[in-house]
Structure formats: structure tokens, C-alpha cells
Structure 1
């Protein structure tokens, strides 16, 4: 018991000892004395003042730093605002812009000056314009010329990518077609409907380009088009406007006349300008031309005789010809190239009423095709063997049957039928198959020609060989009918020279009309003008021709798969309204019908110079059967390869630069292999071979490859007219309201996009810098803030 009591006492004592101080503090808590000490009053007041200063400084620093961050982010976003405009086609929109930059890289853009080429200046303007666009813009770079694959790309979202695309725009020798560029721009705009399209055109703003666009009457639409002018005056310029060989074919051993048209535009006259003709790179002849001031053209003729030794019987021989003049500021148009195929003894079949053995010119008994044979393949009295372009194969109607006819037609590219009263069904069938496979057929009405019989056998509702059905009755009387009712008529001159058939380079328009209208006609058959040819059903035909027609621009599976015949067209008329020359496309070939003129009983045409009308038409028909090897810059060329070319890639050497590219061969149709060239962007000679050659013009290079094929590309003549638009001339074109002009010297910032606030980001960055400087100043030197607080406090104390 005792120990327990003692322990309890100790516990109570310990508790009292622990609670004692607390009880004493509680009992004496309110018993201290407040002593007023002046120094402590000043200390307390200073602490309150400093706390207020720090609170105000921290608040200012927070505001400045938050504002700097906010404005910096806003500057990075580059804000803009749509601004109203008076042009309804350029109405303001809240969508971000899609800038479609059209850069003129046509032939005229290669013009050099002290400040660089026109293309370089346009690219520099485009780069500057890209830098002004908002960050969320879409940018499309659209070269005005070039192959389709090089012109269209997806819009860029990065300015760096857009600038890189601008730098890659290369000059071409093509023609700038603004209508095509605007169509492509429209397609790009439709692909990005979330952005507002705006087209900006950079270049020399060539007047000829815009005049061609104005003639298309572009519709008014909601896609603004800004035209950035080029105010520098163009220099004087001379150029090769045209260069060619009539009919495109040359006869060996005979003089071939090349025709060159030289154009000039300038304020100052130029004299003794040399113009040089070269064959295979060798200078043949140089002539000199004087140009007066202003606009002028000169036509020059160069004669050259191709040596028969130039023909290689084992391969097709083509000779490169070029013409050039003394260079000026625009050198790309100072020369032109032409490839001339050398062809001899091309078979042409003539079918009339007499055979070769039955004819006797001394007795006046000749077939109706005799005049045409003498015209196309004249025979001289010289004992020298001549290699004419045409080798005449003469058959009578009796001989022109079955395998005999097929054997004659197998190698022939042109067949002429005249003087036949009525054709046989077999003749019509064979000629129909011949034309569908690519042969050219000419039919002339003369002598005993019976239109009713021809209609029954050769029209066949458009499935025969007549381009149009014929009336059963003829008009007029032949001279051997001894009629007193002769009413002669002539070839009508209106519209005659619209067709290339009847144009001769060394004769002007009046001379040509006098030539063709000199002949009198007494009798003619009448092609019906209102007749539609029925569609030819697709069918499989045996191909029996030994040659293939030219490859078209679009490959077809086979010539027999052509499903329709083209509508017949009138090429020439008589002044009494009757059609004189009618042609119709049929399969891969063509039929030309002459309603009169071969027989001297029907007209005076064979005895006058107007007989050249047959020469022009028939030679053009023959030339159309050969593969095309002369193109215009920007065209797509389909070229067949020679037999045995193999599967190796074709090496294509571009003109001037010597750059060699490799093109894989392809099937152009079921039987023909060839290549497709869609990058003929430079004027001059291209060489196709199975390996690259150091000097394609060197004869020693011929043995270095199994084949080499030259082709030429010529520029468009109007691209050499360097006259440029100014704002007044641009407004005179009468283009729709979406087209606007902007002088090149004006600022391109926000030009034409109707957006405001584009330059605000620069001011925002400046304001951010000011705010940061203020924040640094406040954080580093707060004494001025303490002075303001103390001054305010003293003012309040004085007021109290």
C-alpha cells in the first residue's frame, strides 16, 4: 500500500511542476506594460512602407512579363484582318489566303539585262512577296511554261519550301498561255477550299500574252488576280519568225528552196544583219538584211541541192538544217532548226482508164492521171538517172483488181484514181481497207465519170471511199459535148488561202489568188453538202501494208480499232457554190475528192499554172504519211524506234546544253515500240540514240550507235514580240473585275490580298522589347519606386 501511495504522490508532484509555468503565464498574461519608444515607431513605419513597395513592384513585374509573353506569342502568329474592298470579285473573307504565284518562264523571260534576266527579276519579286504572307497561308508556285508534271504541285505550308520551289523555276523557250495557267490555278484553289485563293502573276507582262487571254473572254469570278507590272522598256529585237521547206519533203538531185521569215521590232533601224544557213552544221550561205525602225518582216530564200549520196538505203536519213542571225539581247529566238527527211522513189499508185502499155502520148491517148504523173514525177530527156521523190506505178482499171492491186498498194503511201466511169466493188473494198490502214487516197472526177454509179458502189452510207454522196446529175457541159450553153466558172477566192494546202511561201496573197483563179471550169459533179457519214463499226482487219502510218500524239491499240469516221470538210469551192475539194478522215488515212479539173475537156486547169493546186494537195497528203520529226516547243512527241533498237533506254541529248537524259522505251501500240518526250522545253535539235555521242553532227559518230534520230523543236513566233503592258494598256484590254494591276515599284506587302495588319508583328516585337527593357529597369533599380511611395505618403501626412 505504501509504495503505491508514494508513487501516486510523485506523479501528482510532477504534474504540478509541469503545469506551473503555464499557470503562471496565464495568470500574468495581461499584466505586461506597453512602453512607447520612438525608434520602434520609425522602424515599424519603414517595414510597412517597404512591404508596399515590394508588393507594387512585384505586381508591375508580373504585368510586364505576362504582357511580353502574350505579345511575343501574338507576333509569332502574325495576325491579319480581312479588309473590305470595292471589288465584289475580291470580297473580304475570314479564310486564310492561298497565294498562287504564277511565274512567267516563257521564251521572253530569258531576256538578259544588267540586273539579270526577266525571270530572275520575277523570282526575286515572288520571294519578297512570300515573306509578307501570314504563317497559316498556303502557297502554290505555278511556272507558266513547262511539262505538266513540272508545273503543278501540292500547295506549300512553309515559306522556306515555297522559296525553294521559286528558285527551281527554270527558263524555257515555250509560249506563255495565261488561260492555261489560270485554269490550273482554279484547280489548285478548288483543292484547298479552306483557304481564300489569290493569284499573283510575276513576269514581263508581254502584251501578246495578255491580248491572247483577252480574246478568250475570261469569265468574271471570285478569284482575285493581281498582275505585277514590269516597267522597264524592252530592247529592240530581231528574230527568226518562220523557217521551213514547202511540203516538208525534199527531192534528191533537185533544188530545194528553204523559206525563212525574219521579224524585227525596234525604235532604231538595223542594217547588214547577217542571216546564215547551215546544213549538218556546215555554213552554206549567208545573206544580209536591213531593218527599218518600227515593225518589219523580210522573207529570204535559200536554195540547196541534196546529194543522192546522202541517202543510206539501210536506214531513214534525216538531215538537220539550221538558220541563224546575229545575236541580240534575246538570243533564244535568233536561230531555228529543221530536220528534213531524205526520201526517194516513194511508190505512188495511179489508176485510170488506160494501162502503161496502152498509152500513146503521140497519138493523144493518155489516161486521166497523165497530167498528175508529169506534175509529181516529171520525166526529163536527160540520160542521167534521176531519183525523184515519187515513183509512179500506173495501173488501168482492169489491172487494179485482186492481188495485183494489193501488191501495188502494199508499199504505196498515196493512190490517185481518175477517169474511171464506175468502180468495181472489189476496188472499193481494197481501197477502203488501204485508207483505214493509213494510206492516202485522192479521187478526181473527169472524162466519163458517172456520179450515180460511184454513189451506188463507193458511198455505202459513209462506209465506202467517197467523202460525201454525190448528186446523180452533173453541172455544165464538157468541151467535147459541143454545147452552146457553156457557162464557165472559177475557183472561189474567199477562204481559199485559209488552208495550208494552197499557201506558197514565195508568193503573196494576191499572186496566189491570181494563180488559182486563172483556170476555167466547164463541168463538175456535185458533192452533197448535207450528208452525215455513218460510224464505222470496230472490226479486226488484216494489216497488209508494208509500212506504218505516223504515230499519233495519243497511242492507239491498233489502226483497225478506229470506231468512227470524221465529218467531211470542204477545202475549196467554185464561185457557183459547188464544192471543189472535199476531204474526210477515215481510220488512219484520208480521202480527198476533186469534183472537176483533171480532164482538159472539163476545164483549162491542166494547161494553166493553176494545176499546182493538185501538186499542193497531193504532196501534202504524201507528206502526212511520214513520221513527224519537227515539233513546237512545249509539245509532246511520240517517236517510234527503228527495228532492232532493243529494250535499252534511249539517250536524249538536249540542244545547246549537251545534257543527256535517259528515256525508257514503251509500246506506242500493239506492234510499235517508241519513246514519249514531254519535255521539249528548249528550241533546237534533240538527238535520240542508244548511246550518248560527243558530237552528234559529226559523220564519224554515225557508226558509234545503231541508230540516231534528230528531231527539232521551234519556238512560237509571237513570244519574240517584246512589247510590254503598262497600266493604261492593261485597263484597255477590258478584262473582268478580278484582274488588278500593280506597278512593280509599289510595295508588294499585302498587295491584292485585301488583308490588313500584316506588319503588326513587327510592331509587336518592338513592343515586347520595350516591355522587357522596362521590366529589367524596374527589377534592377527600385529606388525610384520607393521615392514615389514616400512622396505619396508624405503628401497624405501633410494633408492630415
Structure 2
């Protein structure tokens, strides 16, 4: 039988047992001897009763000491742990706990959350473990981490330290990554020096995360392997039934936000609950200042959309925040987006096949689609290939269109184009009859400096002289940001699919290249790509394997002219906007390169004080990079730059303050949970247990029963107090 105490620190109270002894000694010595005539008669009586008086005093002293002893013992609350009677030695056991602290665990109903419930369950397991048992603790979220690894409960002090470390784990704003936690657990269960292992998974078993993991055979195999290495494996469900939640799942702008123009921001709110919500208030703030509120009603499991149209009167970095009123899970009630307000978009069009007749040049339809007004957003400069000179610099523009370009005016243009892309420029290339596929493959796809998204594998396919015999339409149009407006307008998307191409260049793509993506294909025998994208540095390049004029396509007919105009504008918006740079998810680091000299930089996080950032020098001091990894909290992060005045005069568009938005994963707000049957259905014949009780015990722990004796001690204390009082009265100590 092992003895422990709930409050071992109170055992220092045993020192109080000395109080009756001290009082007894003090009262013995405080009398002065005075002899007087009748003293001899009293002395004779005292000698006859001396022994009995001494015994009475010692008995009362002992009772008073025992009263204090048992009073302290009652407050310390002794616990006796019974172990099997036949075992002469207690085998050490190892308890491996996986504690889910993803933000869905924070939903709060009836003054308790799944996270608090999981901690309560973990605490019970640790408190019931025997001396010299080991505790391991893994925190489960997107960055799952091992907090404790087989820490032995060598003493009650060590148990207290383990409990304190567990209690210090806070609820995060991260999503759930079940697989990463199981990978850590797998490596721990392979440590053969620790035996009798017992695994406890403490989670709400959010359906979105767990079902995605359980549908992968690799994950199921990992769990089965873990089970083969341990004595027991339990899922402990800490979820709360009938939880309710509304969450903002999306906040986006329609594209480039321009100066002095109303820009649309779309907000999508989802009801994850099983009840109706009427007139949910959605609040809009711009740069921290509340501006407007819209209302939306939602049925169970429904998504709804509201739009805001703020106007911006200053260029530079800005941010918008949308928020709904607090509910049971407040983490996903707010979302931010950061962006630059620009005065215009500067576009360079290089025409590779200029002609005098109207709408016969390669770029005439493109120029018409882009449009031009002195006060317009798009500022277009057209240059025919024969007029291209060194004074025309790519870096002076936001987007460059290369229309049926046979070759550049200089070999240096390729490195200039690469630099332009790396620094965030946008490029659109269309092909045509001026193109030599050997030249493009050689110059645009140099080893280590690939600009083109694929390899042109031969001469064009199709015959423009017999267009009715070679008709190709677009197929497999991907749900990509460049096609966003088409997917929001399904009729327009159907019109796009009916547009015809009579001739195109076949392009082969490296499937292993993560920077290349096919946006649409032809319904040709080879299923060749029609539109492709390559990301290079901070920039993006789009390729259309046919022409922008009417020679190889019918995009410009009265029937489909509207499709061409919308497509060009959507591509332009996509090439200019880079929302991924300043809009991140929680835990992803903030990285930004500034192509000018920076003296110093400071970061102001959503919570906390300003922090000085380390600057990484690039390009021999002409550029600097900042990095900030600590983005575990959602909100707006502000970077403030110190730039020399001469640099600001030279580069008039420099931003000395820039905002970064860090948001939580919206899918983690889905508070639908996996049931016992759903979860265990993936692990048939694996002997995995599922428990919902708060005081969960393993088979091993069930053999160990904690017995508290404070009630018995309290009864004994009362009896001793009564005995002391009665004896004191009997012995004549009370008058």
C-alpha cells in the first residue's frame, strides 16, 4: 500500500505539535517558592498525590498533541493506494497522453470547454499514476510538439511539477493536425526501455480533421502500429454536446483596390450549429475604425454572404477587419485582410505583329479590352516590337503583355524579365505565327532560369484555313483565382467553355514542378494545356498557347466578345494582386523583401510591445529582408521601416508602414464531431477503446484504488477532543 497526500505542504503543520509541550514547560517554571507555616501540611498531601498528578498532566498533554497531529493530518488529506495483494513489486507503467489544444477545443457551454474537460481528464490520469510510473505528453495542433517524454514520478514533488507543466499548456489558435501528433506518438512507442505503455488521446474529435485523417490508409496503419506497441489505447472524448458556433470563413476583395474608387469586399459567414440565426450583425472596420454593419440570417449548416463597398482616399498599405458578435467559440468571429491601395495599374503591351489596318495587329483587341481613359485605373503603354528600345524598362510597369513576340531586341531582356518577375511583376504571354518553338524553349527555359511554364513540343496544331474542321474548346477549367469571376457567374463560365480555338501550340508540363499549374485545357486528342501559370519569386506568368487576335480564335466575335473583355481584366487583376504576401494563416512566418535600403525595422504584433527586427542584407545592401516567425496569434501585425530621406525621394512609392493580416483556419471552427461509432468504425479489430466519462481509467489504473481517510481522521479528532475535555474536567483542570 502506497501513501500519498493531497496537500503534502501542510505536513509542516506537525511542528505545531510542540505547542502543548512548550506551554506545559512554561507553566511549570513560572511559580516562585515561598515558605509559610501551613506549607508542611500541603507538602505532605502533595507527596501522596504527586505521581497521580504527573500521570494526569502527561495524559492530557498527550491528548492535546494528538489533537493537533490529527488536525494537521486531516487537512493534508492522506491517500492510500491499494495494489494487488499477490504482487511483491509494482511494475512501472508509462502513460502517453495526447492533448488536443486546437482552437475548436475552446467552444464554451455551461461554463466549461472541451479543452478544460480534456485537462481535467489528463489531471486524473496523472494523479492516479503510481510512484516511478512515467508520464509523456504530446500537444496536438498544426505544430504538434512533445512536451514531456517519459518523465518519472520519482516523488510527489515531481508529480506536482508534471501537473503544473500540463496546466501551463494554453489553448492555441491553431487547427488540428492529427497525423503529425500520431507521428510523434509512433516514435515514442518504439522506445523499448519503457514497458507497459498506455495511450490516451484527449480530443473533441472534430469531424473535419479526424475524418480527413482517418480516410488515409497511411494514418490508419500508423495507429495500428502504435496499438501493437502499447498495452492499451483509448480515445477520450472531451467534446460538449449541442455546442453552437458561427464563424467567418472568408473575407476577400474583388481584386486591385484603387484610389478614390469603391471596392467590394465579400464576407462569407457559416452557421455550424443546428439552429436558425436571424439578423446576425457583421461589422466592418477599416484600419481599425468601425465603418458599417450589415445583417444576415442563416439556417443550420448554411453559408451566407454580405458585401461592403468602402472607399479609400489614400494610397499605401491598408487593412479591413470584419467581425460578428461573440458566441460560444469567439476565435473565428473575426477576420482581416491587408492590401495596397494603388493610384493606377501600369501596363506595357509589346506587339510582335503590328499592322496598319484597324484590329489587324496582334494587340488591337487586347488594347480595346484594356480600355483607356485619363482618369482610369489602367494606364497602358503600347510598343511595337520594332520600336522597343532600352528606354522601355519592365520595372517601370506592373504588368507586361508579350503578344506573339518573335524575339526580344536584346539578349539582356531575358534576365530583365526574370528580375521583373522575381520582384513581383506580372507577365502575360500569348503565342502565334511569329513564334519559333525552338527559340522559346532555348531562351525561356534555360536550365536553372526557367521562365516558361512548359516546353513547346512541336509545330502548332490546327488549320486556320479550314477552321470548321479543327475546332477546339476549353475544358477542365480549374477553380483558380484567375477564373474567380467566371466561377461566381456560371453563365459566363458556360460561355467561356463554348469559345473556340482553331490553332494552338502543344505544350508539355513537368508534373513535378510545383511552381507550374494548368488553368485550362483543350478538348483536343492530346488534352493539351490552353492556359498555364508559372510562379517565379514574387511574380506570376500566364501563358496562352494561342493568339490574342482573331486569327486563331473566335474570342472576339459578337457572341463571345464579352468573355474576352472579362477574361483580360480578370487576368490583369490576378497578375497585379498578391494577397498571399500580406495575408497569412496563424503560425506561418512573415517574410518580406524590400528592394531599397532600410536602416532599421520594427514589428508591432496584435498583442504586446514593439520589437526590433533583424535585417538581412541582400544584393550588396541594395535590398533588405525581414523575417518574423512568432505568428501564433491572429490579428494585424504592423511593420514600421526607417528609410533615409534620399531613398524616399528617389523612390516616391516607398511604404514606411506596412500591415500583415494573420488569420485562423476557418475549417477548425466546424464543431461537428465524430461519434463513437464513426471513429471506431475506421479501426475495426484493433482493440481501441472510446470513453466519454470525465474520470476515465485504464485497465491498469482500475486495479489501483485511491482511498482517502480524512473522514475517519475527523471522527477520531472529535473523539480525542471530547476525551481531552472530559478528562480535564475530571482531573479538576476546569473551574
1:621 matched to 2:575:
yes
| Per-residue deviation, 1:196 | 5.0
Residues 637 and 110 of structure 1: is their aligned pair in 2 closer, same or farther, counting only changes over 3 Å? Answer: same
Q: In 2, are the aligned partners of 1:102 and 1:201 still within 8 Å (CA)? A: yes
Summarize deviations over 1:516-544 as a string: whole Å, max 9, x none: 21322222122245x799xxxxxxxxxxx
The answer to whether residue 329 in structure 2 is matched with residue 349 in structure 1 is no
Structure 1: distance between partners of 2:324 and 2:368: 39
The structure 2 residue matched to 1:301, chosen from 307, 316, 325, is: 307
3-state SS of paired residue (2:272): strand
In structure 1, the residue matched to 2:670 is 721
Structure 1 Cα separation of the partners of residues 630 and 122 of structure 2: 25
1:571 aligns with one of 519, 528, 535: 519
1: CA distance between counterparts of 2:626 and 2:437? 46
Residue 15 (structure 1) aligns with: none
1:595 maps to 2:548: no
Secondary structure at the aligned position of 1:573 is classed as strand
**Greater mean deviation of Cα atoms: 483-492 or 99-108:** 483-492
Q: CA deviation at 1:668?
A: 7.4
Aligned equivalents of 2:472, 2:429: Cα separation in 1: 21
1:130 positional shift? 0.8
Residues 264 and 474 of structure 1, relative CA distance in 2, 3 Å threshold? same
CA distance in 2 between partners of 1:724 and 1:463 (Å): 48
The structural deviation recorded for 1:473 is 2.6
Query: What CA deviation, in whole Å up to 9, does each residue of 1:428-471 have, x standing for no partner?
Result: 63456436744543210135445455456555678664433324
1:214: how far off?
0.7
Q: Which residue matches 2:225?
A: 221
Which residue does 1:631 correspond to in 2?
584
Q: Where does the alignment leave 5 or more consecutive residues of structure 1 unmatched?
A: 1-74, 84-93, 312-316, 534-564, 692-705, 770-800
SS of the equivalent of 1:685 reads strand
Cα–Cα, structure 1 residues 683 and 532, in superposed 2: closer, same or farther, change >3 Å? closer
SS in 2 for 1:490: strand
Aligned counterpart for 2:135 among listed residues 123, 139, 144 = 139
1:505–1:262: structure 2 CA closer, same or farther, 3 Å change rule? Answer: farther
Give, in angstroms, the shift of residue 221 of structure 1. Answer: 0.6
Residue pair 1:261, 1:300 contacting (<8 A) in 2 also: yes
Q: Answer yes or no: is the 8 Å Cα contact 1:147–1:678 preserved in 2.
A: no
- The aligned residue for residue 253 of structure 2 is 245
Residue aligning to 1:232: 240
Alpha-carbon distance change, 251 to 122 in structure 1, aligned in 2, over 3 angstroms: same
Instruction: Give 1:36-185 correspondences, 5 Å limit.
Output: 96-145=92-141, 152=147, 154-157=149-152, 158-185=158-185
State the 1:569 CA deviation: 4.2
CA contact under 8 A between 2:286 and 2:320: conserved in structure 1?
yes
- How far does residue 491 in structure 1 lie from its aligned partner after superposition? 0.6
Separation of aligned partners in 1, 2:486 and 2:136: 45
Q: CA contact under 8 A between 1:597 and 1:605: conserved in structure 2?
A: no
1:266 is the counterpart of 2:273: yes
Q: Which residue of 2 aligns with 1:469?
A: 455
Instruction: State the SS of the aligned residue for 1:364.
Output: coil
Going from structure 1 to structure 2, the CA distance change for 1:726 and 1:146 (only over 3 Å counts) comes to closer
1: CA distance between counterparts of 2:517 and 2:107?
A: 43
How has the CA–CA distance of structure 1 residues 737 and 445 changed in structure 2, closer, same or farther, with 3 Å as cutoff? Answer: same
Change (3 A) 1:354 1:260: same
Q: Say which SS state the counterpart of residue 240 (structure 2) adopts.
A: coil
Query: Alpha-carbon deviation of 1:717?
Result: 1.9
Displacement of 1:185 in angstroms is: 2.6
Listed as ranges, the matches of 1:553-572 within 5 Å are 568-572=516-520
* 1:491 alignment partner in structure 2: 474
In 2, distance between residues paired with 1:622 and 1:80?
73
Deviation (angstroms), 1:206: 1.7
Could you tell me which residue of structure 2 aligns to residue 364 of structure 1?
358
Cα offset for 1:484?
6.4
> Matched residues in 1 for 2:303 and 2:138: separation?
34
- The 1:163/1:82 distance shift into structure 2, 3 A limit, reads farther
The residue number in structure 2 matching 1:442 is 428
In 2, are the aligned partners of 1:243 and 1:261 still within 8 Å (CA)?
Answer: yes
Closer, same or farther: CA 339–432 of 1 in aligned 2, 3 Å: closer
**Residue 396 of structure 1 is aligned with which of 370, 384, 409?**
384
Q: 1:325 to 1:584 in 2, by over 3 A?
A: closer
Tell me the matched-pair count: 600
Residues of 1 paired with 2:162 and 2:202: CA distance? 15
Change over 3 Å in CA distance of 1:103–1:669 after alignment to 2? farther
In structure 2, runs of 5+ residues without a counterpart are 1-78, 153-157, 643-654, 714-735
- Counterpart in the other structure of 2:372: 379
User: Going by fraction, where is strand more abundant, 1 or 2?
Assistant: 2
Which is higher, the Rg of structure 1 or of structure 2? 1
- Note the aligned Cα RMSD (angstroms): 3.9
Question: Does the 8 A contact of 1:685 with 1:710 survive in 2?
Answer: yes
Of residues 175-184 and 230-239 in structure 1, the stretch that sits farther from structure 2 once superposed is 230-239
Distance 1:232 1:469, change over 3 A: closer
Match of 1:526 in 2: 506
Per the alignment, do residues 592 and 174 of structure 1 end up closer, same or farther by CA in structure 2, a change over 3 Å counting? same
Within 5 Å, give how 1:690-729 maps onto structure 2. 707-729=656-678
Instruction: Report the secondary structure of 2:542's partner residue.
Output: strand
Deviations 1:245-283 (A, max 9, x none): 134x31223332111111113332221222222222333
1:184/1:518 CA distance change after superposition, 3 Å: same
Alignment partner of 1:677 is 2:628: yes
Asked if residue 582 in structure 1 is aligned to residue 563 in structure 2, the reply is no
> What's the CA shift string for 1:289-346, capped at 9, x where partnerless?
2222x32111222223322xx12xxxxx211101122332222222211112222345
2:457 counterpart of 1:507: no
Match of 2:321 in 1: 322
Alignment check: 8 A CA contact 1:141 1:162 kept: no
1:246, 1:665 → 2: CA distance?
Answer: 35
User: 1:194 is paired with a residue of what secondary structure?
Assistant: coil
2:76 paired residue number: none
Q: Structure 1's 410 and 222: CA in aligned 2 closer, same or farther, altered over 3 A? A: closer
> Are residues 1:659 and 2:608 paired?
yes
| CA–CA distance in structure 1, aligned partners of residues 684 and 305 of structure 2 | 36
